[in-house]
Amino acid sequence: MLTDQKILIAEDEPVSRLVLQRLLKAFTCISVTNGQEALDVIHQERIDLVLLDIHMPIMDGFEVIERLKNNEETKDIPIIVITVNQSTEDEIRALDLGAVDFCN
């Protein structure tokens, strides 16, 4: 059942966060506004998918990907980067670190 899946939305822009939550209303979504909050939630909850912004305060998305992929307990959680940034360098870096997709 889809609603059993937990999606973590890590996005500092309120409007973008709200749009994602509405689009994914069939799922259980947890929203945070920075990378450190994302890591805190992931270590407390079973998360099935992370939708991650790259440019966030406190800890950026690149560091979040790196920490998750270097941790045996979280390395298999799929991460999709969702950002308005259209930098090819950011896309390559995110995918090289272990994100499964990059959407802008």
Question: Strands, DSSP E only, in the chain?
Answer: 6-10, 28-32, 49-52, 79-82, 101-103
Confidence category of residue 1, pLDDT binned at 50, 70, 90: very low
Decide: pTM greater than 0.85: yes
Confidence category of residue 85, pLDDT binned at 50, 70, 90: confident
SS3 52: strand
Are 10 and 53 within 8 A, CB to CB?
Answer: yes
pLDDT at residue 4, as a whole number: 79
